[in-house]
Amino acid sequence: MDLDAKRFTDGTTLETDVCIIGAGPAGLVLASELTRDQRNVILLESGGRRPESAIRALNDGDLTGDVYAGLGATRHRQVGGTSNLWNTSLGSAAAAKYAPLDAPDFEARDGMEHSGWPFAFADLLGDYERAQRVCGLGPFRYDGADWARPNAEPWADLGEAVVSRVYQAGRREAFLTRLLETIVSSPTARLVTHATVVGLHRGAAARDVTHVSVSTPGGALWHVRADIVVLAAGAVENARLLLVSDDGTGSFGNRSGWVGRGFMEHPRDCALTLRPRSAALYERSGFYDSSRAEDGTWVVGRIAVASDALSSGALLNASATLFPRLTATARGVRAMMPAVAHRWLPGEGHGWSRRRTARRVFDGFTVLLNVEQPPHPENRVTLSARRDSLGVPLPALHWRWSPDDHRRLERVRALVAGSIEGVGAVSVDASAIPDPNAHHHAGTTRMAHDPSRGVADAHGCVHGTENLYVTGASTFPTAGFANPMLTIVALAIRLARHLARER
């Protein structure tokens, strides 16, 4: 069922088994999985089916620390959440690159404080495999050798510190069409749009959340009563709702003081440039371009830090993708004669290896590093003194890329540069500062067995409560380098299975 809260009146109360806050990918997957078990579900979404300026304004917030795009530009309120902002193209459709976290990302790493998940990579493997199907991807295989093909093979001369792997690419219709249709057509599920949660409320037992307060911009204030409440609204909003609802006792997971702390992004670094020794390399590098495998899976080759190199904690986990650079002459042609350039020049993005003119118009590769950021407690979401249009305190983010983070990045640069020197000459722009704006917010409601070290347990149940859960990247203790979407989906599947078993 599809409901618009604009039609609700003050004091309306809905009842359900499970109330999920946020209809982004995490909320859509969780709701879809629960409806398969015939659970009654209400899925609340602050936005509607289309972007709306009044709703977008609710993403406002304060920012201190280093230069960053801010909370308004890096979040989105609409059915489908931030998948509506995906900017990878797969044909004419919007898509995202997928990869799992690496096994060392789940482990406590020497030299990286606050690292370590409350379960291992192997414990999530089955959920990763189901996540592949939910996201419309191919088999759960990400090693480069599994996707090699004639004339598109991984480089053989990379050394032992790095390995060739792949991203898989998937369209957002997996969420916005298939899962959404499953939910709205289910007799046990209700999707409610224009429903902004403004508070969580405890019962007399103090460990239960009895109901949530919901506001419709310019309209009613109403409530949802549920046996289980799940926050799936993103790393900033999940933390804000816990902080707003706290009565000063720390009962909403904050007795440890960790709510909002450990905010992480995925900085992108372009300091490395590779100039191949032979122009023929552009045609021989097709593995690192986008391609469609025989089974229909779209993959993009990448260069990853080997697991053994991560064990010391001295390095940040990272993955490198290649973007060919047009010569000055080719750039001039593109600027002065775009129609001619469109027919003659290969694109600098995906598909560049399949054009015969590639070797004549490229003069090197930009080696784009996607890197992890360690979980620093001082990088955090708190509450602003300002309020939004619904009267709720806005979030305030303090974020910095620390000198220690940068030293670890420099080691990664040196590792990757040394590993690809057999392919060509590598230069490093030591003055380059990574761009933090991947819009991959994580870490503000981190999981930990010990309540003093985190906000939620290994299943996402908020410490100190019995029926309040969080899911999504906000629960990541560490974020690795990988686009978080595959792990977000796997965790939602894991939580749905837990709720079906325990409740």
- Do 292 and 346 lie in one domain? The reply is yes
The lowest-confidence range among 106-110, 127-131, 338-342, 440-444 is 338-342
For residue 476, is it within any domain? yes
Do 279 and 427 lie in a common domain?
Answer: yes
Please state, in angstroms and rounded to a whole number, the distance separating the CA atoms of residues 470 and 457.
10
In a domain, 215, yes or no: yes
Question: What mean pLDDT is predicted for residues 433-442?
Answer: 94
Would you say residue 210 has pLDDT above 60?
yes
Question: 421 and 312, same structural domain?
Answer: yes
Contacts of 406 (CB under 8 A, 6+ apart): none
Least trusted range by pLDDT, from 56-60, 121-125, 150-154 = 150-154
**Residue 89: band (very low, low, confident or very high) from pLDDT cuts 50, 70, 90:** confident
Is the confidence at residue 348, as pLDDT, over 60? Answer: no
pLDDT bucket at 328, cuts 50 / 70 / 90: confident
What percent of the chain is modeled with pLDDT above 90?
A: 72
Higher-scoring residue by pLDDT: 204, 194: 194
Domain boundary among 389, 410, 435: 435
- Better pLDDT: 347 or 59: 59
Residues 47 and 70 in one domain: yes
Q: Is residue 409 included in any domain, yes or no?
A: yes
Give the pLDDT score at 412.
95
**Are residues 310 and 453 located together in one domain of the fold?**
no
Angstrom distance (rounded) from CA 54 to CA 415? 47
pLDDT at 420 over 80: yes
- 387 and 422, same structural domain? no
CATH number for the domain spanning 54: value is 3.50.50.60
Q: What is the pLDDT of residues 121-148, one digit of tens each?
A: 999 999 999 999 999 999 999 999 999 9
192 and 251 part of one domain: yes
pLDDT of 337 over the 80 cut: no
> Is residue 129 in a domain?
no
Residues 455-469 pLDDT 10s: 999 999 999 999 999
Place of tokens 């053989």: 156
Residue 356: predicted pLDDT:
63
Question: Structurally, how many domains does the chain consist of?
Answer: 2
Residue 148, domain extent? 106-115+140-171+267-371+402-435
**Region 17-45: what's the mean pLDDT?**
95
pLDDT digits (tens, 9 = 90+) for 96-130: 999 999 999 999 998 899 999 999 999 999 999 99
- For the CA atoms of 343, 344, 348, 351, what is the dihedral angle to 10 degrees? 70
Higher pLDDT, 189 or 336: 189
Question: Cα-flanking dihedrals φ and ψ of residue 250, to 5°?
Answer: 75, 15
What was the pLDDT predicted at 343?
A: 61
Interacting residues of 2 by C-beta distance below 8 A, sequence separation 6+: 184, 190, 191, 193
More confident residue, 409 or 501: 409
347 belongs to a structural domain? yes
Q: Answer yes or no: is pLDDT of 303 > 90.
A: yes
In a domain, 130, yes or no: no
User: Do residues 185 and 288 both lie within one domain?
Assistant: no
Q: What is the mean pLDDT of the chain?
A: 91
Q: Is there a single domain that holds both residue 188 and residue 247?
A: yes
Q: How many CA atoms lie within 13 A of 140 on its CB side?
A: 17
pLDDT for residue 349: 59
Beta strands per DSSP E along 79-132: 88-90, 93-98
User: CA neighbours within 13 Å on the CB side: how many for 52?
Assistant: 15
State whether residue 38 is helix, strand or coil.
coil
Q: Output the pLDDT for position 243.
A: 96
Confidence of residue 14 (pLDDT cuts 50, 70, 90): very high
Query: So what's the pLDDT on residue 144?
Result: 95
Confidence grade of residue 170 (pLDDT, cut at 50, 70, 90) = very high
Q: What percent of the chain has pLDDT over 70?
A: 94
pLDDT band at 353 (very low <50, low <70, confident <90, very high): confident
Decide if 97 is inside a domain: no
Last residue of a domain, one of 435, 458, 482: 435
Q: Are residues 463 and 365 part of one domain?
A: no
Is residue 100 one of the residues assigned to a domain?
Answer: no
Residues 162 and 294 in one domain: yes
Which 3 state secondary structure label does DSSP give 63? Answer: strand
DSSP 324-359: EEE-HHHHHHHHH-HHHHHHHSPPSSTTGGG-TTHH
pLDDT at 90 over 60: yes
Q: What local confidence, expressed as pLDDT, does residue 473 receive? A: 98
388-405 tens-digit pLDDT? 999 999 999 999 999 999
Highest mean pLDDT among 156-165, 331-340, 412-421: 412-421
Split at pLDDT 50, 70, 90, the class of 433 is very high
Give the separation between CA 414 and CA 161, rounded to whole angstroms.
Answer: 11
Asked whether residue 425 falls in the same domain as residue 476, the answer is no
Report yes or no: 35 and 28 within 8 Å, Cβ to Cβ: no
Q: Are 499 and 34 in contact (CB under 8 A)?
A: yes
